[in-house]
Amino acid sequence: MDEKILVTQSSMPTYEEYIEAIKPLWESCWLTNMGEYHQELERQLKAYLDVPEISLMVNGHMALEMIIQAFGFPEGSEVITTPFTFVSTTHAIVRNRLIPVFCDIKNSDGTMDEAKIEDLITEKTVAILPVHVYGNVCNIEEIQRIADNHGLRVIYDAAHAFGVKYKGRGIGSYGDASVFSFHATKVFNTIEGGAVTFSDKDLYEKLYNLKNFGIRGEECVASIGANAKMNELQAIMGLCNLKHIEQAVAARKERFLYYREHLQEVKGIRFFDENKDAGKNYAYFPILIEDDYAMNRDALYDLLRSHNIYARKYFYPITADMECYASQYAGAELSTARKVSKNVLTIPFYEKLEKEQMNRILQCIKGREK
Ligand code: T4K
């Protein structure tokens, strides 16, 4: 059996580079609580992501929970969101005691269908929470127009959109706030990690309190908060990985183009549309298996597995259909999301994926057209 190929593989600095970088911690013994590396990574990411403000978090999910909480929406308020995402997006809303109202997606790029948002707005709606899924940029202008007309907040889940620029500006500078994930599986990682980006300076203080128990001095706890801080070992991993980010994205681009070149002629395999105003970070390689392909998505997934190739069904099922939500949302009109979710497959894709491995994957997919 050929060697296993997983859907992704963490990008890492060399062992020596990381070990050298963490050495000073054995002098300082300062491992967390907004240490110097946490602060330095905030400075560097603010510049790299081209955002006005940033707050680092222990992971992307807590970043989502913290920013939703920071807005202080009344319990039971409704948040319009997409079900075509990783379950974190939906959980973060529910764990804040808010109600997700699912909006269908567009077949073209998998992002929220902005034409369907307004019908879902009620007197209880407080926010729109779309996802730049796979790094595909949502219709930012239209979502903002709707939000402004109805006095709603816009919080983007930008977990997949690290470094993406839209119309020349960092993607995290749009809306009221955006959330990034720096999980081990992402284009840029801090092992686990995440960040919230935003413009309103007051949010920095609110998030600071929320991520560190509300502590403002040895004898002063100013507000009620959790613990969601990024520690120094995570921050140092981020500083090391950030040094190599251009190279990492370039390596991904090369592999992306190779896959595209070989798959674009395959009948029944479709790609999501690209937004001409947006840059790409080559985070994932999703393909859509259409009816005129030789087999359905699940059969292709199984075929790849039989060759020791671990593609993943990101994102299936849609979150509204997951066991913990299904009874509430069985009747929701989400036909495009359900269809896309049933047809999508993300094939192995990462910085160090070798050409031979890509050829093995391509061989399984190609030459099977009806
Ligand atoms: N919003 C969205 C839209 C998201 O996609 C995510 C996370 C979040 C919010 C929340 O952000 P975080 O709190 O996670 O920062 C993975 C990731 O764990 C998750 O971060 C990611 N989205 C999601 C799409 O994918 P799983 O359950 O598929 O991971 P797992 O353990 O099956 O790993 C997948 C593959 O990655 C493995 O086969 C090999 C590779 N891998 C994995 C790990 C853990 C590595 O190379 N190194 C590793 O350390 O969720």
Instruction: State how far the alpha carbon of 173 is from the alpha carbons of 48, 85, 127, 187, in Å.
Output: 12, 21, 17, 19
What single-letter DSSP state applies at residue 125?
E
pLDDT of res. 367: 75
Task: Quote the pLDDT of residue 194.
Answer: 98
The helix/strand/coil state of 215 is strand
Q: Band the pLDDT of 58: cuts 50, 70, 90.
A: very high
**pLDDT tens digits, residue range 205-226?**
999 999 999 999 999 999 999 9
DSSP string, 159-211: TT-TT-EETTEEGGGSSSEEEEE--TTSSS--SS-EEEEES-HHHHHHHHHHH
Name the token pair of 209: 């309190």
Please choose from 6, 12, 180, 183 the residue to mutate so as to test ligand 1's pocket, defined by most ligand atoms within 8 A of CB.
183
Structure confidence at residue 52 (pLDDT): 98
* Cα 286 to middle of ligand 1, angstroms: 15
The pLDDT score that the predictor gives to residue 124 is: 98
pLDDT of residue 370: 61
Closest approach atom of ligand 1 to CA 85: 3
**Rounded Cα gap, residues 148 and 250, in angstroms:** 37
How confident is the model over 168-181, as pLDDT tens digits? Answer: 999 999 999 999 99
Q: What's the Cα-to-Cα distance from 227 to each of 69, 71, 75, 190, 340, rounded to whole Å?
A: 13, 18, 22, 17, 37
What is the C-alpha separation between 50 and 212, in angstroms, rounded? 25
Mean pLDDT of 200-209: 97
Q: How much is the pLDDT for 223? A: 97
pLDDT band at 137 (very low <50, low <70, confident <90, very high): very high
Query: In this predicted structure, what is the pLDDT of residue 369?
Result: 64
Q: State the first-to-last Cα distance of the chain, in angstroms, to the nearest integer.
A: 27
Q: How far apart are CA 181 and CA 177, in angstroms?
A: 14
The answer to whether the CB of 289 falls within 8 A of the CB of 297 is yes
Kindly state the DSSP code that residue 212 receives in the 8-state scheme.
Answer: B
If you take atom 25 of ligand 1, which residue's CA is the nearest one? 185
Q: What is the pLDDT of residue 2?
A: 87
Q: What is the pLDDT of residue 180?
A: 98
Does the structure show a pLDDT above 90 at 237? Answer: yes
369 CA distance to ligand 1 middle (Å): 32
- By mean pLDDT, which of 5-14, 120-129, 265-274, 361-370 is the weakest? 361-370
149 is written with which tokens?
Answer: 């007309």
Q: What is the pLDDT of residues 298-313, one digit of tens each?
A: 999 999 999 999 999 9
Q: What is the mean pLDDT of the chain?
A: 97
Picking from 247, 193, 185, the residue whose alpha carbon sits closest to that of residue 45 is 193
